[in-house]
Amino acid sequence: MDGGQRRMSIDNEKVQLPISPKALGVHDPSLNQVGHSNSPTFAANRDPIQNGSAEAVICNSKKLEDAMQEFGLKIKHHEDNVKYLKAVKNELDDSILDIRVALGTTKSASETGSENKESSNGQNEEETIEQILSFDKSAAAICVQLQKRSGAQITQIPFMKDIIGIVALLGKVDDDNLSRSLSDYLGLETMLGVVFKTRDGVKALETYDREGRINKSSGFHGLGASIGRPLDDRYLVICLEDLRPYTGKFIADDPQRRLDIKKPRYLNEETPPGFLGFAVNMINIDTANLYCVTSTGYGLRETLFYRLFSRLQVYKTRADMLQALPLIADGAISLDGGIIKSSGISSLGEREVKIKFPMSSGRPNVPENYYETEIRLKELQWKRARFVDDLQREQTLLDHAKFNFEIKKQDFVKFLARSSSYASAPQFPAGGERSTPIS
């Protein structure tokens, strides 16, 4: 992975197994006779311990040891292939998931069969603005109203130049159910939060008298009063300069600069069913805010939205989310309204979403080579199907090799036990009768 970007090693048309590519197509003879081996069986009439010499005993012991070693090598061979195939399959799964997020092909909750009676009609940006303005005495409404106006009086206000926007207007989504879930998770106060670049802009919002009371004639309060929107409520302000940004890798060749976050996996390395991705990557951001929003060169995704969502996981349904509970560390949401804030803390009851993220329109944020990306997605899905078949075949060969190894191991243990008991038993003459001394 060079330059902080994840590259797919499975892009090559030919993918070789680590040991022998023939392993996937070679038929294991042991599959024909499970539990049987080519080493000699110890029938009563051909017992090497009773009928043979010490050399025969050693010879048969060596044959059993060789058979065990042979199956041990087969086990190692198949284990290496299984490990390799699982690694490639996981890489394919990650790339397929990333492409689906980039193409906005997240399935809505209604498409997954869940019961969702809420409207699936999304809203555009203008409708979101109207919703914000309905909170007429909020800082967000004042900010939107001022940004809609033009003139030197507004643009010359220092802190107005430092405002990036309202949280609800700084991102778009591709699915209305996702918009509801993300907005419900953040809550109304955060959705109406005002985002600033620097702490100097935040400091200019309010001034105080000697008793510590807010001076209502200056700052944001003064501006609100001047346009007939007096600011009476508390409000949330987010300063990008004070946020700790994401410093990891980005998904390669993604114009939205989505974060390359490790996907949740069970101990068997499988991704939990219904997992759609991370919330921070499902927000579409205008190109102007993707790069160098802060003085240190960070964009909105790795600052604002990473701070708001962190590694919040998104699932199709509540059932999927609850099943994956052991893998959820930083919270999760489902498209049908489920919310897990953090480990042990969930949000229940009917949801009421007053401010939502607007829907993406005209697909301005998807890759320019949209159809080529769709073709690549189908190719990756086809490759994954091939690797799954190979993985299942290798796992079957591994299971049979382990089974036959255990059979040989049991034969060897029995052989050693019989050899030990024979060696410790009293020996008689060939005639089988005990000789008695002459008195």
pLDDT in tens, 121-179: 567 888 899 999 888 888 898 888 887 765 445 556 777 788 899 999 999 998 889 99
- Beta strand 194-196 with 237-239 is parallel
Average pLDDT on 305-330 reads 94
pLDDT band at 292 (very low <50, low <70, confident <90, very high): confident
Q: Are residues 85 and 167 in the same domain?
A: no
How many CB atoms within 10 Å of residue 50?
11
Give the pLDDT score at 189.
93
pLDDT at 368: 59
User: For 391-403, what is each residue's pLDDT tens digit?
Assistant: 888 888 888 888 8
Domain count, the chain: 2
Q: How would residue 105 be classed by pLDDT, with cut points 50, 70 and 90? A: low
In a domain, 248, yes or no: yes
Which tens digit of pLDDT belongs to each residue from 200-235?
A: 888 878 878 888 888 887 777 887 787 777 887 788
In this structure, of 64-68, 171-175, 284-288, 349-353, the range with the lowest mean pLDDT score is 64-68
How many other C-beta atoms are found inside a 10 Å radius of the C-beta of residue 345? 9
Flag the least confident range among 254-258, 381-385, 415-419: 415-419
Using alpha carbons, select from 187, 191, 207, 200 the residue that is nearest to residue 239: 200
Same domain, 185 and 315: yes
| Of 98, 135, 118, nearest in space to 179 by CA | 118
Domain that holds residue 384: 34-104+370-423
169 and 67 co-located in one domain = no
248 and 154 in one domain? Answer: yes
Asked whether residue 346 falls in the same domain as residue 381, the answer is no
Residue 37 pLDDT exceeds 50: no
What is the arithmetic mean of pLDDT over 26-40? Answer: 44
Question: Within this chain, do residues 91 and 164 fall inside the same structural domain, yes or no?
Answer: no
316 compared with 118, residue with greater pLDDT = 316
206 or 113, which is more confident = 206
Q: Is it the case that residue 315 has pLDDT exceeding 70?
A: yes
Asked whether the predicted pLDDT for residue 32 surpasses 50, the reply is: no
Domain assignment of residue 27, yes or no: no
Q: Does 314 have pLDDT greater than 60? A: yes
What per-residue confidence (pLDDT) applies to 279? 95
Checking if the pLDDT of 417 tops 50, the result is yes
In a shared domain, residues 95 and 177 = no
Helix %, strand %, coil % of the chain (to 5): 50, 10, 45
Q: Which of the two residues, 216 and 117, has the higher pLDDT score? A: 216
> 229 and 325 share a domain?
yes
pLDDT of residue 309: 96
Residue 183 clears pLDDT 90, i.e. is over it: yes
223 and 191 inside one domain:
yes
When comparing pLDDT for 422 and 39, which is higher?
422
pLDDT at 3 > cutoff 70: no
What is the pLDDT at residue 332? 96
Cα(143)–Cα(164) distance, integer angstroms: 10
Residue 28 belongs to a domain = no
Q: Tell me the pLDDT band of 82, cut-offs 50, 70 and 90.
A: confident
Q: Does residue 438 belong to any structural domain of this protein?
A: no
Nearest to 382 by CA among 98, 99, 101, 96: 96
User: How many other C-beta atoms are found inside a 10 Å radius of the C-beta of residue 119?
Assistant: 10
Is 291 in the same domain as 395?
A: no
Query: By C-alpha distance, which of 223, 264, 344, 254 is closest to 90?
Result: 264
> Are residues 380 and 232 both part of a single domain?
no
Find the mean pLDDT for residues 99-122: 52
What is the pTM assigned to this prediction?
0.66
* Exposure string for 251-260, b = 16+ CB within 10 A, e = fewer: bbebebebbb
- What is the rounded distance in angstroms from the CA atom of residue 237 to the CA atom of residue 42? 83
Work out the pLDDT band at 439, boundaries 50, 70, 90: very low
pLDDT at residue 326, as a whole number: 92
Give the mean pLDDT of the chain: 76
Residue 15: the pLDDT is 47
Is 433 inside a domain boundary? Answer: no
Query: Measured in whole angstroms, how far is the alpha carbon of residue 246 from the centre of its chain?
Result: 17
In a domain, 311, yes or no: yes
